[in-house]
Amino acid sequence: MGQDTKNYNNIASSPLLEPLPSSNSKRASKLQTLGNIIVTVVGTGVLGLPFAFRIAGWVAGSLGVAIVGISTYYCMLLLVMCREKLASEEPLGESNTYGDLGYRSFGTPGRYLTEVIIVVAQCAGSVAYFVFIGQNLYSVFQGQGLSMASYIFMLVPVEIGLSWIGSLSALAPFSIFADVCNVVAMGIVVKGRYTTGLREGIFIWAKT
């Protein structure tokens, strides 16, 4: 009887769910977080800014960049505010995804709408990057006899493999490498434009 009581007490004191492992061991460092933020906010889209300014003009282009920058910064602050509010209201962390947040705000329709918007946005971004990378690979290896679509299809397995990485700290080396590549690419563009401007005897900002 005493043994049965002891076993019952052990079962009653055991949690129904195992506690989540501590996130401290997988938490990204400040450098890793900075690398992820830069590649997320900036990305290779900044390489298309010169063409965008050429089409929109200096005034509209500058206003557009300013509006997008302010909106992005404001949305980042909203994410932090939502995190702090949910942390104070839900000690157990019941809302872990954007869909959970949409459910808390607007119910089931909010969850579905949030998930659909995220899927569409991520798919559209992935397609844009596939086309961008495919165009660049095709321009570099144009003499190999492969079409641009072939380079795009070759990128699909690589992207699928990277999508299985679920840790931001594990993705940080790729993000930092991408940041370095972005800086080098922008440096090459600026150097080429500056050299062309000096050769033509004009200021680099006076001709598009």
Q: What is the mean pLDDT of residues 22-35?
A: 66
> Three-state DSSP class for 168?
helix
Q: H or E element: which one contains 193?
A: helix 168-200
Instruction: Evaluate if residue 74 carries a pLDDT over 90.
Output: yes
Q: Which letter does DSSP use for residue 42 in this model?
A: T
Say what the pLDDT of residue 91 is.
63
Say what the pLDDT of residue 14 is.
38
Q: 85-111, pLDDT tens digit by residue?
A: 877 776 665 667 788 888 888 889 989
Say what the pLDDT of residue 11 is.
42
pLDDT band at 186 (very low <50, low <70, confident <90, very high): confident
- For residue 148, CA distances in Å to 47, 129, 153, 157 come to 20, 13, 9, 16
Say what the pLDDT of residue 120 is.
93
Task: Name the more confident of 79 and 207.
Answer: 79
Give the start-to-end residue ranges of the domains of the chain: 167-208
Q: Measured at the alpha carbon of residue 206, what is the angle toward residues 201 and 208, in degrees to the nearest 5?
A: 105
Say what the pLDDT of residue 44 is.
65
Say what the pLDDT of residue 15 is.
40
> Three-state DSSP class for 59?
helix
> Three-state DSSP class for 71?
helix
Backbone phi, psi, residue 22, to 5° = -60, 135
Q: Is residue 43 packed enough to be buried (19+ CB in 10 Å), middle (13-18) or exposed (0-12)?
A: middle
> Three-state DSSP class for 20?
coil
Lowest mean pLDDT among 10-24, 27-41, 113-127, 173-187: 10-24
Compute the distance between CA of residue 147 and CA of residue 153 in angstroms, rounded to an integer.
10
pTM of the model: 0.59
